[in-house]
Structure 1
Amino acid sequence: MSLLQIQDPKKNRLEVVVGIDFGTTNSCIAFSDDAKPFVLGGDQKLLPSVLSFDEGKWQVGKARGISIASIKRILGKSYDQIMASDAIDPKLKEIISHKDGTLKIKVDGKYFEPIYLASLIFSELKKIAERHLKQEIKKAVVSVPAYFDDRQKSAIKQAANMVGLDVIRLIQEPTAAGFAYGIQYKDTKGQYLVYDLGGGTFDVSLLNIQGKVIQVIAVSGDDMLGGDDIDHAVGKHLDISLKTAKKLKELVSPSKDATVDKTKLTWEEYEKIAAPIIEKTIKLTSSVVGLSNNLRGIILVGGSSKSPLIKKMLSKFEVEILEGIDPDRAVALGAALQAENLSRAKSHILIDVLPLSLGIEVMGGLNDKVIMKNTPIPTCVKRNFTTYADNQYAIKFRIIQGEREFAKDCREVGFFELSGLSPMPAGLPKVEVNFMIDADGLLYINASESISGVNKELVVEMQNLNQDVTDILQESFEKAEEDLNARILKEQILKAEDLISKVHKILHKLSKDHDLGTFIQRLQDAIESEDTKRIKEAYETLEAKFTPICLDHFNNQISKLLQNTKISKFD
């Protein structure tokens, strides 16, 4: 009699990892099998990112009772940032409070944290996937705007974690869309630009797609610019509700005017209202296009990119505009492909980049850039530092992001202190600092000093970020020459002050007088004048006078040490 081998079908079932596009206006969840991604859900398959509080309960996807839209726009933002931003819905600002120093939203006398509200959207997406795939979903790849910082990325991960989703990877939204095109359209090879205009954010990425390898070359964007801004502008111009303004925006076209609830919007009116907002995205796009040596096409992503006006304004780049994948679903499909790639050992390779340079504040308040903007990630960079004063027992590290030459003009990411150093002369301690950025774009720092044996992991204390990334890049470009001249001056001053300190230290040890006072004073006067040329000349003069004295001093010291020492001792 033959034996039957009985197996539990659940035991051999591959773990399902989904891809999630957590959007400002709509959210979407997808799954990929055998490199064939598809969106999960009902007929619509897009979940409006709207939360409603009705009869004491929160509901997702429908605007009724007290409703909240665009929750993504305030994740990771400070109270002051939100209140100062024109991009945040005034109605949302009215219910935001700063209770007990924590940002919360007050609804019906109760307080809710933004991360909790975002988690409700993730919960609904998780339910959609579980209903469709008929099994529990525990892991996901989640998309984020290219210009979200660590604080915002962490908020999205926390929101997903709250409903039992382990985020195995964060993927930049335009990168995910490019991934979808690269895998699904085999003839999509070469350099492509992804233009991603969502409801609340704008991202643009330059990708090099070569078969199974997709490399991000450069990114730009604005995390407070999106289609919602056009809705607000239309609503303000016509003095109508946002809901009506949005419908008018979606219906109007060059061939026909739009009418909703007896309110009419002509194409000419729409162009005048929307063009200034879209022009901001075109400027950012131009900066990235300039980095391409052979642009093949532009991939449209995000529901707001469907506007005929955007296609018209993008035509200036004279390349093909690709719409083979629905712009509303491209990001979710790409995230699903990456989920399959990571969970089932596929051979596709995705190489992302760092959107802003990462640096550390050094002597004189200068920005010592450690990892440069557009460096492929994940990456790890090692740098060595030392002390500038004798018997220094601790070193404070201030980690910054930005392109400016001085730390004060960059935004602070975090700081920590490496303490417990053994008393040593300045310059002797050897502090090794490892900067590690993972595939999610999250930062980890480890610092150690070999002689003292002390070690410290960075615990980032995120600070309020009061500038948009776009402003940071624009300001760094405008101030580039001024900053460079200021840096050269500061470095000259630091170098001159160090020489004066060394001269005083050596002269103090000598019994014989050396008349260097005039040259020292001349260098000090040059420092006060802040004249780079004058400082350089005075420095070189003092250095020329001091070098023979210094060499003579060290030769005498060595002679004393070697006196009465037999040569055989060195054998």
Structure 2
Amino acid sequence: MIVGIDLGTTNSLVAVWQNGEPRLIPNSLGDFLTPSCVSVDEDGTILTGKAARERLQTHPAQSAAVFKRHMGSNMQFNLGGRNFRAEELSALILRALKEDAEAALGQPVTEAIITVPAYFSDAQRKATRAAGQLAGLKVERLLNEPTAAALAYGIHQRDQETQFLVFDLGGGTFDVSVLDLFEGVMEVRASAGDNFLGGEDFVNLLTDEFFKQAAIPVALKNDGRFMQSLLAQVEQAKRQLSEASQATLQTHHAGTSYSMPLDEAALERICAPLLARLRSPVERALRDANLHTANLDSIVLAGGATRMPIVRRMVARMFGRFPSCDINPDEVVALGAAVQAGLKMNDAALDEIVMTDVAPYSLGVEVSMHLGRDQFSYGHFDPIIERNTVVPVSKVKSYYPNSDKQTSLRINVFQGEARMVRDNISLGSIDIPIAQVAGQDNGVDVRFTYDANGLLQVEATVTLTKQTHALVIEGNPGVLSPDEIKERFAALSELKIHPRDRIEFRTMLARGERLYQQLRGAAREELGRQLMQFERALEAQDDRTSRQAAKTFQEMLEYFEHQSFLNLDE
């Protein structure tokens, strides 16, 4: 069984192609959205999802979120005295989704289509593939998120001929893709994006403004518990403005209250720099596709951050029409991944669907420019595969040494669009031994092969000897070797994971602990008593008693949650 997984910055989802259509799979709490959060409990047990998100405020040093942004880097997260890489934390989320799918489908799940931002680098894609392997999954395909969203929409329009743009603003990344749909063929014309622009950035900008306007001591930015609580309040206010015209940011510390009123106009003013950054990838994608906004039949929204009215208004102004949001933007990428899973399984219902994708960035090598006589200008970028070339693709170029006396030729591989390699991203290098022979026979043919997963292979063949060398990535922190993956898989397998069938109770306890810290006075004392009673009921290990206590405790939590938002805490 192949499932489709949207591994998101803020939330993740799993879906399956079943009975001729994509279907979302709920987690153990009955929700489709699983927060991309991991926490280590006091006894060393690993918690994922909503339970871990609740602990972000109460146990920030033992919890982690937004780690997707650090895929393909050396960033380490220390939780409970143990260091985790971003792909290991992602693997724990993937494992939880895998278990949810197995519980719902009643059969083992061993393969997955995992979505990635279209603008993810080679290292980030390889780290995502490694995360899938660490979770015990064979990653059948890495699918670009806007392409997945387009698949979810295109499945309903397979008989139409249309051109549309997918505007995908998630929790941590922004992607744009322009697509054609004709005669059952879905063709990506162009992609562009920003890997550090998403809903989290809007929250961070609002938080900085709150500090400034409410005169909150800057030193509190180093207080992990205070900051996690404040970020949750800011996120809540941002969501509130999606449904109401006004909201109030409010927090307490050491007996002092801080507040800031917020409305749509203020939010748009504060977030103006981020809204401006959304334009550049859109313009690049349209330019590469040789299209004007008037040529587009529709604009499709994907990603939870597109729920913000200020974003939807900006999109409407940019394109001169209202965007399409027929499918829940939080769910559309996962549904598209399930469609791709159906294609992979050769489902008869998808026989007439064909899909093509493109390379989202240019890939090339470092070259020197001959200025005359013995003078050279070094560090120039020479693309071998141009951005938005249809994939899979394989292209070759020939390169020659600057001097007949050279005994080797170094091939430095980069990705990016800048003229000079210093402004692009290094992917690795390889030294090719060559003979001291004059003339064109002393060249090296460099072949780039870029597959449908967005992964690059580089081969260099010496013209004279026909000897071929493969690129070995040197010092790339995002690429784990097969041996390292086996070692880390064994280490993750030994971790104590909280039982899926008890996660509901653990999530309620974590929520209760968070509310306890928010409340004061009599309300805080009462919630403390309720927490103790619920813990005692769970210790009895009687399912009927636990369920009854959980129902009562859930009602109390809803009451106190309401109280905390009304600020009736004394």
Aligned to 2:263: 266
Which of 193, 204, 224 pairs up with 1:221? 193
1:356 aligns with 2:361: yes
Aligned to 1:234: 206
1:18-51 CA distance string (max 9 Å, x none): 1110000000000013541011114321101111
**AA of the residue aligned to 1:292:** L
C-alpha separation in 1, matches of 2:248 and 2:278: 27
**AA of the residue aligned to 2:307:** K
Aligned to 2:503: none
C-alpha separation in 2, matches of 1:230 and 1:423: 57
Q: Following TM superposition, by how much is the alpha carbon of 1:159 offset from its aligned partner in structure 2, in angstroms?
A: 0.9
1:69 aligns with 2:58: no
- Which protein has greater RCO, CA pairs closer than 8 Å, 6+ apart? 2
Aligned to 1:342: 344
Cα 1:254–1:450, aligned 2, differ >3 Å: closer, same or farther? closer
Aligned to 2:127: 155
1:322 aligns with 2:324: yes
Q: Following TM superposition, by how much is the alpha carbon of 1:348 offset from its aligned partner in structure 2, in angstroms?
A: 2.1
C-alpha separation in 2, matches of 1:188 and 1:133: 33
Aligned to 1:53: 40
Q: Following TM superposition, by how much is the alpha carbon of 1:333 offset from its aligned partner in structure 2, in angstroms?
A: 0.7
How many residues get paired?
425
3-state SS, counterpart of residue 454 of structure 2: coil
Do the aligned residues in 1 keep the contact of 2:441 with 2:463 (CA within 8 Å)?
A: no
1:22 aligns with 2:7: yes
Aligned to 1:404: 418
Do the aligned residues in 1 keep the contact of 2:9 with 2:68 (CA within 8 Å)?
A: yes
Residues 75-94 of structure 1 mapped to structure 2, 5 A cutoff: 75-78=71-74
Q: Following TM superposition, by how much is the alpha carbon of 1:259 offset from its aligned partner in structure 2, in angstroms?
A: 4.8
3-state SS, counterpart of residue 363 of structure 1: strand
**AA of the residue aligned to 1:46:** L
1:390-411 CA distance string (max 9 Å, x none): 3543221111222233334433
Do the aligned residues in 2 keep the contact of 1:181 with 1:188 (CA within 8 Å)?
A: no
3-state SS, counterpart of residue 335 of structure 2: helix
For structure 1, the residue ranges without an aligned partner over 5 or more in a row are: 1-15, 79-102, 466-571
1:405-441 CA distance string (max 9 Å, x none): 333443322110122x444224323432221001011
Which of 356, 373, 380 pairs up with 2:387? 373
For structure 2, the residue ranges without an aligned partner over 5 or more in a row are: 212-228, 252-258, 370-377, 479-570
3-state SS, counterpart of residue 241 of structure 1: helix
C-alpha separation in 2, matches of 1:400 and 1:76: 15
Q: Following TM superposition, by how much is the alpha carbon of 1:464 offset from its aligned partner in structure 2, in angstroms?
A: 7.5
Residues 291-330 of structure 1 mapped to structure 2, 5 A cutoff: 291-293=290-292, 294-316=295-317, 317-330=319-332
1:194 aligns with 2:166: yes
Q: Following TM superposition, by how much is the alpha carbon of 1:152 offset from its aligned partner in structure 2, in angstroms?
A: 0.8
Do the aligned residues in 1 keep the contact of 2:158 with 2:182 (CA within 8 Å)?
A: no
1:166 aligns with 2:138: yes
**AA of the residue aligned to 2:39:** S
Which of 368, 377, 395 pairs up with 2:409? 395
Do the aligned residues in 1 keep the contact of 2:39 with 2:79 (CA within 8 Å)?
A: no
Q: Following TM superposition, by how much is the alpha carbon of 1:229 offset from its aligned partner in structure 2, in angstroms?
A: 1.2
C-alpha separation in 1, matches of 2:209 and 2:66: 21
Moved more, 136-145 or 441-450: 441-450
Q: Following TM superposition, by how much is the alpha carbon of 1:298 offset from its aligned partner in structure 2, in angstroms?
A: 0.8
Q: Percent identity?
A: 34
**AA of the residue aligned to 2:472:** V
Do the aligned residues in 2 keep the contact of 1:282 with 1:314 (CA within 8 Å)?
A: no
C-alpha separation in 2, matches of 1:363 and 1:266: 54
Q: Following TM superposition, by how much is the alpha carbon of 1:334 offset from its aligned partner in structure 2, in angstroms?
A: 0.6
Do the aligned residues in 1 keep the contact of 2:64 with 2:77 (CA within 8 Å)?
A: no
Do the aligned residues in 2 keep the contact of 1:138 with 1:164 (CA within 8 Å)?
A: yes
Q: Following TM superposition, by how much is the alpha carbon of 1:220 offset from its aligned partner in structure 2, in angstroms?
A: 1.4
Moved more, 61-70 or 140-149: 61-70
Do the aligned residues in 2 keep the contact of 1:296 with 1:320 (CA within 8 Å)?
A: no
Q: Following TM superposition, by how much is the alpha carbon of 1:282 offset from its aligned partner in structure 2, in angstroms?
A: 3.0
Aligned to 2:522: none
Q: Following TM superposition, by how much is the alpha carbon of 1:235 offset from its aligned partner in structure 2, in angstroms?
A: 2.7
Q: CA RMSD in A?
A: 2.3
Cα 1:46–1:403, aligned 2, differ >3 Å: closer, same or farther? same
C-alpha separation in 2, matches of 1:211 and 1:314: 28
Q: Following TM superposition, by how much is the alpha carbon of 1:284 offset from its aligned partner in structure 2, in angstroms?
A: 2.7
1:158-195 CA distance string (max 9 Å, x none): 11101210111111111110111111234663211111
3-state SS, counterpart of residue 446 of structure 1: strand
Which of 96, 101, 126 pairs up with 1:124? 96
Moved more, 213-222 or 104-113: 104-113
C-alpha separation in 1, matches of 2:441 and 2:242: 70
C-alpha separation in 2, matches of 1:462 and 1:196: 32
Which of 257, 268, 275 pairs up with 2:246? 257
Q: Following TM superposition, by how much is the alpha carbon of 1:454 offset from its aligned partner in structure 2, in angstroms?
A: 1.9
